[in-house]
Amino acid sequence: MSEINMPKKNLLSMQIDPAKFEPASEDEKRQADVMSESTSFFRDGMRKLMKNPLAVGSIIALVLIILLILIAPKIVPYGYEEIIKVAGSKDKTITNLAPFAWSEKEQALIASGTKLFPHIMGTDSLGRDYFIRVIYGTRVSLTVGLFASILVLIIGVLYGSISGYRGGRTDMIMMRIVDIIYSLPDVLIIILLSVVLNQTLNKSNPIVKLLGTNMVAIFIVFGLLYWVGMARLVRGEVLKIKNNEYFLAAKATGASSWHIIKTHVIPNCISVIIITTALQIPSSIFTESFLSFMGMGVQAPMPSLGSLANNARAGLQSYPWQLIFPAMMIVIIVLAFNLLGDGLRDAFDPKLRR
C-alpha cells in the first residue's frame, strides 16, 4: 500500500520522506524548551531555603531584632548605664517601674505638658531604663555569639583542612590532640579561666578594657576548646574530597597545595561550614548567657541578657517582667538561629539531614 509513496530503496538511506516534515513554529520550539534556567549550588540552596517557612520566619525575626538593636539606642533618649534624672534632679520613685509606668515626678512633668519618652519595659532597681538595657544586652549577646562563632570557624576550618589534607602522621597527631580537647569539660574550664584571667589580665590593655576580662576569657576558651567539632567535620569532608578524581587531576597537573585547598577543598565543604557556624552561634549565645547568669560574663554596668536575668532574680516576686523580657529575648534569638540552622542544613546538605 505504501509502495507508491516509497522512494526507491537505497540501502544506506534512512528511508525518510522529507515531505512529511515541517519546521516547528516558534511556539512549538518554546514548548520543547524544557531546560530550566541554569542555577548555581548557592542559588539552588537559597531557593530551597526560601521555601522553608520556618527558616524565612527566623530570618525575618533576626533582621527585625538586628534593626531594633541598631536603631533603638538612637531613638530612646536614655543610656544603658544612666540612672534617670527627672528635670535634672534625682527621683526616688523611678526604680522598678512596671512597663509603661511613670514615676511621681514624671507624672507631675507630664501633667505640666512636657513630653517624655515612655519606659517601654519599665526601669530596674537602680532607676535605669530597662528597655535600653535589654537592647544593649541583646547587642552584647549577639556580638559574642557571632564573633565566637567566627573564631571557631577560622580555627576549625584551618585545622581541619590541614589535618585532612596532609593525612598520614600529621593527621594522626592532630586528631589525637582534637580527641583530647574534645574530652575536656569545656564549661568547667571556661569558669576556671575567667576566675584566673579576672585576676591576671592586664586591665590597662585596650582590648581588655573594651571587653572586660570575662569576655576575653570567653573568647580565649572558644578559641582554645570549641573549634574541635568544626575541625572534625571539615577533616571528614576533606578526606572525602581527596578521594575524588578532580583532586587527583589537580595534583597530577602540579597545582600547589594552597591552590587546591582554595579552589577545590574549601568550596566543597562550604555547606558543612555554613551549617555548623549557623548552629554554633546559638550555642555560643547559650554559653555566654549561662556564664553571665553565674556572674562571670560581661562586667557591670554593661548588661548582657544573662546578667539581666540574673539581676532580676532578686526582685522576682514583685517585678517578674524584669526576668521575662531578657529571657524571652534569649529564647527568640536562640530559637531563630536554631531553626535557621536546621533550614540551612536541609537546603544546603541533604546528606546531613538527620
**Which positions lie near another protein, rule CB under 8 A?**
179-180, 183-185, 187-189, 191-193, 195-196, 199-200, 282, 286, 289-290, 293-296, 306, 309-310, 312-313, 316-317, 320, 323-324, 327, 330-331, 334-335, 338-339, 354
The minimum distance between CB 18 and another protein, in angstroms, equals 55
Residue 152 exposure: Cα atoms within 13 Å on the Cβ side:
29
List C-alpha distances in Å: 30 to 27, 33, 36: 5, 5, 12
Q: Which helix (H) or strand (E) holds 151?
A: helix 130-166
Q: What is the CA radius of gyration of the chain?
A: 31
Whole-angstrom distance, CA of residue 79 vs CA of residue 71: 14
Residue 113 or 185 having the CB closest to another protein: 185
The minimum distance between CB 37 and another protein, in angstroms, equals 32
The minimum distance between CB 88 and another protein, in angstroms, equals 37
The minimum distance between CB 118 and another protein, in angstroms, equals 25
Residue 6 bridge partners (DSSP): none
Residue 247 or 293 having the CB closest to another protein: 293
List C-alpha distances in Å: 121 to 126, 194, 202: 14, 31, 37
The minimum distance between CB 78 and another protein, in angstroms, equals 25
Q: Is 352 exposed, middle or buried (0-12, 13-18, 19+ CB in 10 A)?
A: middle
CB 106, CB 304: distance < 8 Å: no
Residue 151 or 339 having the CB closest to another protein: 339
Q: CA angle, corner 62, sides to 56 and 65, nearest 5?
A: 145
Residue 63 or 192 having the CB closest to another protein: 192
The minimum distance between CB 339 and another protein, in angstroms, equals 7
Residue 165 or 325 having the CB closest to another protein: 325
The minimum distance between CB 200 and another protein, in angstroms, equals 6
Whole-angstrom distance, CA of residue 128 vs CA of residue 141: 19
Residue 138 or 289 having the CB closest to another protein: 289
DSSP state of 265: I
Residue 153 or 305 having the CB closest to another protein: 305
CB 100, CB 119: distance < 8 Å: yes
Provide the strand spans (E) within the chain.
none
Closest among 308, 15, 255 to 134, alpha carbons compared: 308
* Residues composing the chain: 354
Whole-angstrom distance, CA of residue 286 vs CA of residue 132: 21
The minimum distance between CB 274 and another protein, in angstroms, equals 20
Residue 195 or 270 having the CB closest to another protein: 195
